[in-house]
Structure 1
Amino acid sequence: MNKQVRKIAWIVAAALVFVATAGCVGGGESGAGENAPFRIAVIPVQTEGQLGEAMTRLQSILTEALDREVDIQNYPDYNGVVEAMNFGHVDMAFFGPLTYVVAHQKSGAEAIVVQLVKGKPFYHSYIITHKDHPWNTLDELFADPGAVSFAFGDPSSTSGSLVPGVELKSRGVLVSENESKLKELRYTGSHDVTALAVQNKDVDAGAIDSAIFENLVEQGTIDGDRLKVIWQSDALYQYPWAVKKGTDPDTVKLLQETFAGITDEAVLSGFGISGFAPASNEDYESIRAVAQAEGRLE
């Protein structure tokens, strides 16, 4: 073999090694093979500590059902979960309704399971204030908006931002996500932080998920006797669990059956729910319409 032939052979061999190595590196990504962990991302609906036991128990239940390692991670913000699904880093995600419709548009994520609260897949957006304050309606709260401090949750939250934001816009109080006629507008990042900010009078009022609010009261995280609800939205379809595009039907069916059969109180109480039921993309059409109208699906 002359030098030129040996050189060509060496280049081909090196290329084959590189391709094989790249394949091994890629094996760590979601969906790389049956032996890879089934990764699930969870939005920060409450603090990680409050969800810790629930996620640990859920992880164990799903690992047994799928006969495959399951890894559930709590993400620091809503958008991070959308991007994790978009870039294929996770196989499944727990979304808010708004983040779900965004993820569906961006990556084809498909809702397959919905949470139930008192047996129903619905909840509301609340606006709450401290009981020491005189306001009992939004008309009273916003009689002088320039004197009011207000808190939303995460900008991508359905009940903590999108839906109450539409209400504030209709009243001329909110101009855009970052512009308002209020004395102060802040985003706390999660529902529990909003509730505590209102309870501690750090803000005058705030928007929160009704089911999470009631769960925080039941857990003693917040004092229900110090807070009052002064506005409630129409019914909203509950938070979905969605799988990545192309998930095989057998896996979807197994996940739906497993979630629907969960009675573990640690899991249910951790998420502040009574159970799970099958869901579909069509269940979120009303949220999709609002998100579209608000420019959230550009």
Structure 2
Amino acid sequence: MKLLSFAAVLLGAGVALSAPARAEPTEINFGIISTEASMALKQQWAPIFADMEAQTGLKVKPFFASDYAGIIEGMRFNKVQVAYYGNKSAMEAVDRAEGEVFAQATMANGQPGYFSLLIVHKDSDIHSLDDILKNPGKYNFANGDPNSTSGFLVPGYYVFGQNHIDPKTHFKRVVTGSHETNIMAVLNKQVDVATNNTTDFERVSAHLGDKIKDVRAVWKSPLIPADPLVWRKDLSSDIKKKVADFFFSYGKIGSSADQERERKNLEVLTFSGFKPSNDDQLLPIRQLELFKTRVKIESDAALSPADRTAQLADIDAKLAELQKKTASAN
């Protein structure tokens, strides 16, 4: 007679076998959107990641990609577990990469957010938004990453959408770049006008010195909510608590020397700290996306009147629903 396995004997005796407990992850990949060159971003975030490792016991590996989509896709395939995004890229991560907003940066200048800009060289003959709008085919334009809130979505709606202009046909040439790349393109007169934002303009100014005086803004947007931190929904509650506790206390708890050092680390990023948030902070961005879509539908000559009416009604219903959510969130 064959010998029964030990497990079979136990099972026959009514002893339940439980599967081995899954080991808690000890490492997370932290994604950073590509507002500047990766080397600059590494230098800015490295001290914070070092403190995060020391205070949470987690190994924190920075994850960089050449564009915003790379960070979103990294989170989608669980190559990134926590990330710093702009609002539009955070919306994409929430909608298609299992992301969830848990924190929002607080700005060092005391503002509840920041502003999108259109920038030109100081020698430019562009002095206002009207100069850009009234001269089709004259200027070269550096747009932002398609997943950038301040570099693409906000100017796309307030500058181009509301004025029924398609940047691809309005400008002589259109290129796409990060915020830092766009500043350098304007400085070097490679383009006539570029998108940017007040936060990254200030950040890049810190290492450009007097050169930044050769750049001026000709348009500033309405206020954009400060950027969020996003984690994957399926992170364990233990890791979520460690990560949240770290960010919410950073620069606020500990010895005076530690607090001062941590505040200086945050100031490099133009932040004063982080506060709790959730997906509701993306509601204004969702409204902007729908507004932009509505403008396109209104001006689409290829649509029949019936199709246009139906699509606009659908957009308006979605906007009304977002308005209700925004009202309840406030």
Give, as a single letter, the amino acid of the residue that structure 1 aligns with 2:208: G
Over the aligned positions, Cα root-mean-square deviation in angstroms equals 2.1
Indicate which of 68, 75, 80 corresponds to 1:85. Answer: 75
Contact map agreement 1:85 1:91 (CA 8 A) in 2? yes
Matched, 1:239 2:227: yes
Aligned to 2:160: 168
Q: Which residue of 1 aligns with 2:54?
A: 64
Whether the 8 Å contact between 1:142 and 1:148 is mirrored in structure 2 is no
Residues 250-298 of structure 1: CA deviation (Å, up to 9, x unaligned)? 4334323311333325632442323222221111100022224445xxx
Residue in 1 aligned with 2:27? 37
Residue in structure 2 matched with residue 157 of structure 1 by the alignment: 148
Q: Report if the CA contact (8 A) 1:77-1:154 is conserved.
A: yes
State the partner residue of 1:142.
133
Give 2:266's match in structure 1, choosing from 265, 268, 291.
268
**Are 1:284 and 2:273 counterparts?**
no
TM-superposed CA distance for 1:123, in Å, is 0.7
Distance 1:197 1:86, change over 3 A: same
Q: Which of the residues 185, 207, 216 maps onto 1:197?
A: 185
Partner of 1:215: 203
**TM-score, normalising length from structure 1?**
0.81
**What does 1:113-132 align with in structure 2 at a 5 Å threshold?**
113-117=103-107, 118-132=109-123
CA distance in 1, matches of 2:74, 2:246: 23
Task: Report 1:7-46 matches (<5 A).
Answer: 33-46=23-36
Which region of structure 1 is more displaced relative to structure 2, 165-174 or 100-109?
165-174
How has the CA–CA distance of structure 1 residues 58 and 76 changed in structure 2, closer, same or farther, with 3 Å as cutoff? same
Q: Secondary structure at the match of 1:230?
A: strand
Deviation at 1:181?
Answer: 1.7
Q: Is the contact made by 2:73 and 2:97 (CA closer than 8 Å) also made in structure 1?
A: no
Q: 1:33 to 1:241 in 2, by over 3 A?
A: farther
For residue 83 of structure 1, report the CA deviation from its aligned partner. Answer: 0.8
Corresponding residue for 2:37?
47
Q: 5+ unaligned residues in a row in structure 2: which ranges?
A: 2-21, 252-261, 294-330
User: How far apart, CA to CA, are the structure 2 residues paired with 1:141 and 1:42?
Assistant: 32
SS of equivalent residue, structure 2 residue 137:
helix
Alpha-carbon distance between aligned partners in 1 of 2:84 and 2:39, rounded to the nearest angstrom: 17
Counterparts of 2:204 and 2:267 in 1: how far apart (Å)? 10
8 A contact 2:84–2:228 mirrored in 1: yes
| 1:159-217 C-alpha deviation (Å, 9 max, x unpaired) | 11111112223223326xxx3221111101x1000011011111110111211112211
Pairwise CA distance, 1:54: 2.6
**Distance (Å, rounded) in 2 between the aligned partners of 1:252 and 1:294:** 35
Deviations 1:26-71 (A, max 9, x none): xxxxxx8424411111111111222222322122111122212111
For residue 225 of structure 1, the aligned residue among 213, 218, 222 is: 213
Gaps of 5+ in 1: 2-31
Partner of 1:23: none
CA gap 1:77/1:266 in 2 versus in 1, 3 angstroms: farther
Count how many residue pairs are aligned between Structure 1 and Structure 2.
Answer: 261
Equivalent residue letter for 1:183: K
CA distance in 2, matches of 1:92, 1:70: 10
Q: 3-state DSSP class of the match of 1:163?
A: helix
Change (3 A) 1:160 1:42: same
Identity of matched residues, %? 25
Larger radius of gyration: 2
CA contact (8 A) 1:96 1:158 kept: yes
Deviation at 1:130, TM superposition (A): 0.9
Provide the residue aligned with 1:133 in structure 2.
Answer: 124
CA deviation string 1:98-140 (max 9, x = no partner): 0111110113311112122223440110011111113221102
**Which residue in 1 is equivalent to 2:242?**
254
